[in-house]
Amino acid sequence: MAAVVARKLILTYVDSLRTDMLWRTVEEGRAPTLSALIERGALVEDCVSSFPSVTPVACAELATGEGADGHWIGGMDWYHRLERRYVEYGSSLEASRAFGIFRSLYDLVYNMNLAHLNPGVETLFERLDDAGLRTACTPFLIYRGRHRHQVSLEGLLRRAVDATRLKFRHHTWGPRELFYGDLYSSRELPCKATSIPGARDEYSACCAAELVKAGEFDFLLLSLPDNDNYSHRLGPEATVESIAKVDECLARVVEAGGGLDRFLAEHALIVVADHAQTEVRRGLPLTELLGREWSVLRPSESDPERAQLAVSPTARAAHVYLLPAPGRRAAPDAVGEALNAIEGVDLVCRIETAEGEPVLRDEPGAPAPGAWAVVERRGAVLRFRPGAEASDLRGARWAVEGDLAALEATVDDATLSSETYPDPLARVWSALNSPHAGDFVLSLAPGYEAVDWGGVSHAGGGSHGALHAGDSLGPLLFVGCGPDDAIGRPQWALRDIAPVVYDHFGLR
C-alpha cells in the first residue's frame, strides 16, 4: 500500500514520565513548549503501559502494536530456555558485570532486535520503510528496520573495546536514519554521541533538530530517556528538573522547524511515556529468599544442570522458572506457596491447564489452547481466559472465575475494570503467554523492588515494573494526528500508538 504523506510525524518517547509530574512542571512555568503543545492537542492522562511495565517490554509494544505474547520481549532480565542462560538487558551496571558487560551489550543492542524480537511481527520502521517512507530514529531500544547500518564505535565504548581487546563488529538493520549513540550513525551530524545514562537527551535532541532542519524524514522516533535515570536516583517527585530538560529538548526541535506555528504546520507530534515510576523503600532479595529452599541458577553457575529455579528480577516484577533438574524438580505448588508468603510480593500469576493442573514449560512457547491465567493475591484467587462472559474497558471479552478481589476489580454492566491494576486481564494474559515467560510472573507491592543480579535496587529512589497503576499509567499527547479529544476511548494503551501512526500515513 502506498503511503500518504500530509505532514511529517515525530513520535517522542519520554522514559518514566508521570502525568502528575508533567502537570506540576507546566504549572511551575518550567515546560512552556509542552504547555503550548497540550493546548493545541489532545492529552490522554492514563495511557496503560505493558506488563511488566519496564522499558524493553514497553518499547517493543510501542514499536509493534503487540503485547509481550506477540513481540516476545518479556522483561529486563529473563531466562532463555533454549540457550539455557539468562538474558540481561542492563538492569544496572553491576548486573551487567555479573553476566559480562559485552554479553549484556550484545543482548541489549543486537540480540534484542535481531534475535529476541519476534521476526513474525513488523516494527513501525519496517512497515513504514516498506511503504516508501523515510524513517529515522534516535537511540531507542527497538529500532529494527529495512536498512543495513555499519557499526561505528566512538567515545566511551570504543575506549572500552580497545582496552579489553574485544571485538564488536556486528552490523545491524534499522530505519533509514539511525543514530544510536556510540554505536551506529547513518550520517555525520554535529552532535556529541554518548551512551552514558542521564546524559543522552541532548544528543537525541541535537540529532532530531538536524533532521528537522534537513527535512529528510517522514517519520522520526525521538527518544528522550534521561527522565528515567533521574527518577531512579532521586524519586519521581523530584522529576520537575528532568522534565524541564525534556521541554528544552523539544523546544530545540521546534525551533529547528521555524518556531511552533511553522513546525506544527509541517509536523504532527505524539508524546508518550513508556511507563511511570513509584517510590521504592525496600529492595526484595528474591534470589536469596528462594535460594534457602531450592537451588537457584546463578549468572556464573559451575553446575547449571543441578539448578531447580531460574529467577529473573525485572525491577518491580519478576519471572520465576521451574527448571527440569533431573530427579530434583521443584514442585509447582510448593514454589507458588512460597512466593505467596514473601512479604513484598503483591500478585503471583501463573498458567493452568483447562483441568486446573500447573503448566510447566521446558521450551519457549505459549501454553495449549484452553489454558487459564491465574492470579493470586492475599488468599484471593482469580482465573480467566478469553471468552464471552465479561468485557474489559478496551472491548476484549473474557471468561472469569473466582474472586475479583485478587485484582481489586469490579464488574459493572458486564464490564470488568480495576482502578488499582489498569487493563489487568489483557496485560497479565499477555505476560504469561509470552514464549519466554516464567512459570510464575510476579508483581511487587508498592514500595518494593526486586534486587537485581548485581545486588542493586533503587531503594531511596523510584522504579517501575509492577501491574499497579502507579507504575503503569502515563501521559499520551496527540498534536495534529490521532483523536480530536481524549474522551473518545475508555482506555488507551501503548499498543494503540502504532495503529495511529499507520492511520496518519494512510496505511490501514
DSSP assignment of 358-398 equals BP--SSSSPPPTT-EEEEEETTEEEEEEEEEEEEETTS-EE
Would you say the C-alpha torsion 8, 14, 19, 22 has a positive or negative sign?
Answer: negative
Peptide bond before residue 225 is cis, with ω within 30 degrees of 0: no
Hey, what's the torsion of the CAs at 487, 490, 496, 502, to 10 degrees? -50
Q: Taking Cα atoms as reference points, which of 475, 19, 22, 497 lies closest to residue 247?
A: 22
What is the total count of domains within the chain? 1
Q: Which three cell numbers stand for residue 291?
A: 535460594
Q: What is the pLDDT of residue 165?
A: 42
**Lookup: cell for 502:** 499507520
Q: What does the alpha-carbon distance between residue 15 and residue 7 come to, in Å, rounded to a whole number?
A: 25
Residues ≥6 apart with Cβ < 8 Å to 327: none
Which residues neighbour 311 within 8 Å (Cβ) at sequence distance 6 or greater?
286, 287, 290, 296, 297, 318, 319, 320, 321
Beta bridge partners of 375: 349, 382
Residue 230 lies in a domain: no
pLDDT of residue 167: 54
Q: Is-contact 431 312, C-beta < 8 A? A: no
Spatial contact of 206 and 191, defined as CB atoms under 8 Å apart: yes
Tell the residue number behind the cell numbers 522547524, with chain if given.
257
The H-or-E segment that residue 184 falls in is strand 184-185
Q: Is residue 402 in some structural domain? A: yes
Per-residue confidence (pLDDT) for residue 326, from 0 to 100: 84
Helix and strand numbers, DSSP H then E, in the chain: 17, 24
Long-range contacts of 260-264 (CB under 8 A, 24+ apart): 260/33, 260/36, 263/212, 264/40, 264/479, 264/480
* Three-class DSSP labels, 234-257: HCHHHCHHHHHHHHHHHHHHHHHC
Pair 360, 331: CB distance under 8 Å: no
CB 10 within 8 A of CB 268: yes
Please give the grid coordinates belonging to residue 307: 539448578
For residues 78 and 361, the answer to whether their CB atoms sit within 8 Å is no
* 368 part of a folded domain: yes
Q: Cα separation of 57 and 67, whole Å? A: 8
Residues 80, 438: Cα–Cα separation, whole Å: 10
pLDDT for position 291: 96
Q: Is residue 222 part of a domain?
A: no
Residue 380, in any domain of the structure: yes
Distance (Å, whole) CA 47 – CA 497 = 10
Q: Please give the residue range of the domain that contains residue 428.
A: 293-460
- Residue at 18 is within a domain: no
C-alpha cell belonging to residue 163: 582496552
Q: Is there a domain that residue 112 lies in?
A: no
Contact between residue 75 and residue 60 where contact means Cβ atoms under 8 Å apart: no
**Residue 249 is which amino acid?**
C
Residue 163 located in a structural domain: no
Tens place of pLDDT for every residue, the chain, 508 residues? 667 677 999 999 999 999 999 999 999 999 999 999 999 999 999 999 999 999 999 999 999 999 999 999 999 999 999 999 999 999 999 999 999 988 898 899 899 999 999 999 999 999 999 999 999 999 999 999 999 998 775 544 555 444 444 455 678 999 999 999 878 889 999 998 877 777 899 999 999 999 999 998 999 999 999 999 999 999 999 999 999 999 999 999 999 999 999 999 999 999 999 999 999 999 999 999 999 999 999 998 878 889 999 999 999 999 999 999 888 899 999 999 999 999 999 999 999 998 888 888 877 777 777 899 999 999 999 999 999 889 999 999 999 999 999 999 999 999 999 999 999 999 999 999 999 999 999 999 999 999 999 999 999 999 999 999 999 999 999 999 999 888 888 999 999 999 999 999 999 7
Q: What is the pLDDT of residue 168?
A: 57
Asked whether the beta carbons of 440 and 335 are under 8 A apart, the reply is yes
Shortest CA distance to 185 belongs to which of 203, 167, 197?
203
- Has this prediction a pTM greater than 0.85? yes
CA contacts within 13 A on the Cβ side of 262: 10
